[in-house]
Amino acid sequence: MGLLAIGTPLEWPEAKKVASHVRSWGIEQLLAIWRDYKGKERDALLWGDEIEYLVVCYDQNNHKVRLSLRQADILAALATDEKLLAEGGGVPDVQTGDTKGIANPAPVFHPEFGRFMLEATPGKPWGIGFKDLLDVEPNMKWRRKIAREHMEASEFPITLTTFPRLGNKDTLIPDYPPSGPKLRSQFVPDEIANPHIRFPTLAANIRWRRGRKVQVNVPVFKDENTPWPWKDPTVNYDLHNWPEDDDVRNGAAPDNFIHMDAMAFGMGSCCLQITFQAKNIEEGRTMYDQLSPLGPILLALTAATPIYKGFLADTDVRWNQISRAVDDRTPEELGEQPLKNDRWRLPKSRYASNSTYISQDPRLRKEYLDPDLIVDEDLKKRLIEGGMDNALATHFAHLFIRDPIVVFNEDLKELDLTKADHFENLQSTNWQHMRFKPPPIGSEIGWRVEFRPMEIQITDFENAAFSIFIVLITRAILSFNLNFYIPITRVSENMETAHIRDAVSSQKFWFRKSPFPAQPASRSNGPGTSTPANMPSRPPTPGPVEDEYEQMSVNEIINGQNKEGGFPGLIPLVESYLNSMNVDVETRCDLATYLDLIRKRANGTYWTAAKWIRNFVQTHPDYKKDSVVSDEITYDLVKAAEQITKEEGHDGLGKEMLGSRR
Ligand code: ADP
Ligand code: MG
Ligand code: MG
Ligand code: MG
Ligand code: MG
Ligand code: MG
């Protein structure tokens, strides 16, 4: 999450009144950053990953596992550990980047939305060296070890995306009754959220803006004994604490869907994110665009979320649930009522796949852009007057169609151009699958790009593998100037496809046929022919956009198409890049272990975590083929996940996901 400002947050009706004001100040702050940093050059190619954990607490005697709400205590223990602080780790000032000159600083820990969550990053960003890549997995293991050491003996930091029974009775410790004033959820208490005022205010104001609670509905998985039509048996239709209790009486919980009603069901999910620093803004914009079409592919490949609220779901990933959990659109914006008070119909939640491309790359054809993209034209005009080009101004004017949700009274007194609080307010509550991060004003940090779609994996080995793969493909993109452009609306379509159960083996995704430049017509006679001096060399005339891409399986995208002139595959592209870099044999060997995991996940040899978890549930003796994931199953599943985290398949458990790794 972003910076944790302190102050008095406005309730929604007051925040709404100052929304335009915050937006225009945010745009001025963005322009100040733009002026200062647009010409910044030669920044190092740094990168860093973020790992999110669920803190679980075992009750061995009763075969019960709950979520521990001790985030604040654990962070306090980390922040006061003198040894850890001396090693440069712990809980440092946000983003100062100060590692006290320590070469291998200890990891750092951050709060997250859920009071049962923890986030950890390396003590300093990774560098460009190949050797750094081999430090990632040990560092992730170090993080988990430190986290564990600052917990109680009954607790463990687990990397499942979601807690299988979140939203059921007796799943939290300490326990609180649901139906608090902020979330008004009938399933989870307000105490589920980080108590820092920003988080409950975010949840409350999203609900308030919408005019009802969020509706996080996931299709239930229909098994042999699942009653059909299925009615979520945990929904209470007779609650009368809040006006929002009417939601379910007004149809918020349709048949055959698992119904959830609070931000915690989405923002309480764990993911794996990678941030890159580019050498300059242009390179950052290229990385943003070229990684964008890879988002849905990596979402499908890392699928790990087959259970919600104690039921098997008919989808495999978390993405749309988070999207719905923070969807603040009003009935007018959703198209349910005629537009009267609101400005636009909005096709997407503020948590959604990317909606536009931002590079000034001549290969970016206008046909790849969404003709229906909604932008705030006044703010765009201001950005252009301020010197920003059309593509980037469009991107930010699109993010700024949203209202700021959490506004602190203290920040409204005067516009401070040495700060970025108003800009970050909008930027950090637009959760797309990539984020273009401008430098923090006044810092030495460069332009950064964040890759956000991946689901957290059970083991540090897998999390390292996916991080390293994304780093290497990014290097290959830059080194070979690869082109993955397809129309952005196809990327959004792919994002939906990625949700389908076992999409990695059962579905096809839109993908560009060739990542290489088209051969100019004058050179089609093959290498060696050159353009005669008296004839101007003309760039190839581009054909119809539809001819540039087709539907491919994840296996074809990752490992290559088995046909003449077919897509070469992301792993073979990474291999060519490594070949071109003369990586030493030992490093190359170590990297091969990681690439092998990706290759085999894509070709179906290894299972995704979603498939493994589903299979674990369906073969558990307590499973009655009725989609119910009981307490008993949950206990064994979480225990198994812990064991896999420690043994990484060496003892045979989880080998379908990991191989036997001998
Ligand atoms: P957020 O939660 O806003 O996405 P975080 O501060 O949690 O961001 O961390 C993002 C990642 O970026 C961390 O892994 C961190 O090590 C890394 N990072 C920090 N500074 C840089 C930088 N200058 N370039 C690239 N990565 C960086
Ligand atoms: Mg996080
Ligand atoms: Mg973070
Ligand atoms: Mg974060
Ligand atoms: Mg942060
Ligand atoms: Mg992040």
Burial class of residue 576 in the structure, from the number of CB atoms within 10 Å of its CB (0-12 exposed, 13-18 middle, 19+ buried):
middle
DSSP assigned state of 503: H
Instruction: Give the pLDDT confidence of 199-228 residue by residue, as tens digits.
Output: 999 999 999 999 999 999 999 999 999 999
Q: Is residue 121 within 6 Å of ligand 1 at its C-beta?
A: yes
**Four-point Cα dihedral 644, 649, 654, 655, nearest 10:** 170
What per-residue confidence (pLDDT) applies to 101?
Answer: 72
Q: Is residue 49 within 6 Å of ligand 1 at its C-beta?
A: yes
Split at pLDDT 50, 70, 90, the class of 542 is confident
Split at pLDDT 50, 70, 90, the class of 107 is very high
CA-based R_g, the chain, Å: 25
Instruction: Give the pLDDT confidence of 298-343 residue by residue, as tens digits.
Output: 999 999 999 999 999 999 999 999 999 999 999 999 999 999 999 9
Do the Cβ atoms of 252 and 258 come closer than 8 Å? no
Near ion ligand 3, which residues have CB within 5 Å? 50
Q: Is residue 284 within 6 Å of ligand 1 at its C-beta?
A: no
Instruction: Give the pLDDT confidence of 270-288 residue by residue, as tens digits.
Output: 999 999 999 999 999 999 9
What per-residue confidence (pLDDT) applies to 532?
Answer: 45
Ligand 1 pocket test target in 275, 283, 471 with most atoms within 8 Å of CB: 275
Name residue 500's amino acid.
Answer: I
Q: Is residue 604 pLDDT above 70, yes or no?
A: yes
Instruction: Output the pTM of the full model.
Output: 0.95
What per-residue confidence (pLDDT) applies to 93?
Answer: 52
- Give how far Cα 309 sits from Cα of 17, 454, 506, Å: 37, 21, 26
- The number of the ligand 1 atom at minimal distance from the alpha carbon of 428 is 3
DSSP assigned state of 620: S
- The number of the ligand 1 atom at minimal distance from the alpha carbon of 2 is 3
Do the Cβ atoms of 263 and 202 come closer than 8 Å? yes
Q: Is residue 275 within 6 Å of ligand 1 at its C-beta?
A: yes
User: Which ligand approaches the C-alpha of residue 47 most closely?
Assistant: 1
How far, in Å, is the centroid of ligand 6 from the Cα of 273? 6
- The number of the ligand 1 atom at minimal distance from the alpha carbon of 94 is 6
The number of CA neighbours under 13 Å toward the Cβ of 442 is 8
Question: What is the biggest distance separating any 2 CA atoms in the chain, rounded to whole angstroms?
Answer: 87
Q: Is residue 196 within 6 Å of ligand 1 at its C-beta?
A: no
Instruction: Give the pLDDT confidence of 75-103 residue by residue, as tens digits.
Output: 999 999 998 888 887 776 544 555 667 87
Distance of CA 155 to the CA centre of its chain: 26
User: Which ligand approaches the C-alpha of residue 121 most closely?
Assistant: 1
Question: Considering only CA atoms, which residue is closest to atom 3 of ligand 1?
Answer: 2
